[in-house]
Amino acid sequence: MEYRLNKYISASGYCSRREADQLIADGHVTINGRRANIGMRILPGQKVKVRGELIKNEIEPIYIAFNKPVGVVSTTDTQESNNIVEYISHEQRIFPIGRLDKDSQGLILLTNDGDIVNKILRVGNNHKKEYLVKVHRPITKDFLTKMAQGVPILDRVTRRCEIKEINPYTFQISLIQGLNRQIRRMCEYFDYEVVKLERIQIMNIKLGNLGQGNWRNLTQKELEELFDLLEKSKDVTQAKKPANSNKAMNKALQEYDIRNDYRKASSVAKHTPKAKLEKMAIASSADAEQDEKEKPKKKKKTGSGPRIGKSKAVGKKPQPKQHPKPRKDK
- The CATH number given to whatever domain includes residue 178 is 3.30.2350.10
What's the chain's average pLDDT? 79
Are residue 9 and residue 110 in the same domain, yes or no? Answer: no
Rounded Cα distance, 136 and 67, in Å: 24
- Mention every residue, 6+ apart, whose C-beta is less than 8 A from residue 138: 168, 169
Tell me if 30 is assigned to some domain: yes
pLDDT at residue 268, as a whole number: 47
Are residue 108 and residue 50 in the same domain, yes or no? Answer: no
Are residue 44 and residue 76 in the same domain, yes or no? Answer: no
Tell me the pLDDT band of 263, cut-offs 50, 70 and 90: very low
Tell me if 187 is assigned to some domain: yes
pLDDT at residue 82, as a whole number: 92
Find the mean pLDDT for residues 283-288: 54
Tell me if 68 is assigned to some domain: yes
pLDDT at residue 290, as a whole number: 57
Residue 234 clears pLDDT 70, i.e. is over it: no
Catalytic residues: 101
Cβ contact 60:82 at 8 Å: no
Tell me if 266 is assigned to some domain: no
Are residue 14 and residue 115 in the same domain, yes or no? Answer: no
Q: What is the pLDDT of residues 139-155, one digit of tens each?
A: 999 999 999 999 999 99
Are residue 156 and residue 32 in the same domain, yes or no? Answer: no
Rounded Cα distance, 37 and 165, in Å: 49
pLDDT at residue 327, as a whole number: 58
Residue 27 clears pLDDT 70, i.e. is over it: yes
Tell me if 44 is assigned to some domain: yes
Q: Give the domain range for residue 145.
A: 63-217
Tell me if 129 is assigned to some domain: yes
Using CB atoms within 10 A of its CB, is residue 67 exposed (0-12), middle (13-18) or buried (19+)? buried
Q: What is the pLDDT of residues 105-148, one digit of tens each?
A: 999 999 988 778 888 887 556 789 999 999 999 999 999 999 99
CATH number of the domain residue 17 falls in: 3.10.290.10
Residue 92 clears pLDDT 70, i.e. is over it: yes
Higher confidence at residue 109 or residue 290? 109
- Mention every residue, 6+ apart, whose C-beta is less than 8 A from residue 148: 160, 161, 162, 163
Are residue 67 and residue 51 in the same domain, yes or no? Answer: no
Assign 199 to helix, strand or coil: strand
Lowest mean pLDDT among 47-51, 78-82, 223-227, 279-283: 279-283
Tell me the pLDDT band of 14, cut-offs 50, 70 and 90: confident
Are residue 128 and residue 211 in the same domain, yes or no? Answer: yes
Last residue of a domain, one of 195, 217, 239: 217
- Mention every residue, 6+ apart, whose C-beta is less than 8 A from residue 24: 5, 6, 36, 37, 38, 40
pLDDT at residue 267, as a whole number: 47
For residue 109, which of 256, 224, 218 has the smallest C-alpha distance? 218
Range among 73-87, 234-248, 284-298, 302-316 rated most confident:
73-87
Q: Which helix (H) or strand (E) holds 284?
A: helix 274-294
Are residue 101 and residue 168 in the same domain, yes or no? Answer: yes
Are residue 50 and residue 168 in the same domain, yes or no? Answer: no
Q: Which amino acid is at 172?
A: Q
Query: For the chain, how many structural domains are there in total?
Result: 2
Range among 18-32, 37-51, 78-92, 193-207 rated most confident:
193-207
Range among 43-57, 224-238, 262-276 rated most confident:
43-57
pLDDT at residue 310, as a whole number: 47
Determine what percent of the chain is predicted with pLDDT higher than 90. Answer: 47
Are residue 72 and residue 193 in the same domain, yes or no? Answer: yes
Rounded Cα distance, 296 and 316, in Å: 29
Higher confidence at residue 57 or residue 16? 16
Are residue 104 and residue 162 in the same domain, yes or no? Answer: yes
Find the mean pLDDT for residues 18-40: 92
Tell me if 96 is assigned to some domain: yes
Rounded Cα distance, 57 and 289, in Å: 65
Residue 200 clears pLDDT 70, i.e. is over it: yes
Tell me if 38 is assigned to some domain: yes
Are residue 32 and residue 69 in the same domain, yes or no? Answer: no
Last residue of a domain, one of 217, 238, 257: 217
pLDDT at residue 39, as a whole number: 87
Residue 55 clears pLDDT 60, i.e. is over it: yes
Last residue of a domain, one of 55, 74, 92: 55
